[in-house]
Amino acid sequence: MDYFNISLPNREINKIPMLALAHIGDGVFELMVRSKLILEGKTRINDLHRACVKIVAATSQAKRMERLLPHLTEEELAVFRRGRNAKVNSVPHAASVREYHEATGLEALFGALYLRGEKARLDELFSIAMEEQNENNEPASLEADL
């Protein structure tokens, strides 16, 4: 099995519980964040860790999900909503219930796209999610978020 080139049909993905999709999506999103940070020249492990934790935190993921919503297809939006509405047993103290649910929806979406083998779409949505906005709604550097 080539785990970097999975391509499951929708009928198989629809059988996977939402929290399981969010689990795989969490790993996909974090790997993409780590890759982005390394490619941008962050190589000191403490800096990498701090930057990564800040970006993958539920509060940050919820904000990034807000940026993605206008760009989602109906099918992607349905996966996000199902992930967002999944029953979770606990919420981290650093996030509100709403933020945690939004983050879970983002992770479920990334998990579904990964399992479908939709790498180009993952890259596209990740780029949008990682765009930073300043007060004038202009992109800012990633460093501002770190």
Which residues are known to be catalytic? 26
Q: How far is CA 51 from CA 39, 56, 140, in A?
A: 13, 9, 16
Residues composing the chain: 146
Please give the biggest Cα pair distance in the chain. 47
117 vs 4: CA distance, rounded Å: 8
Helix or strand holding residue 10 (H, E): helix 10-13
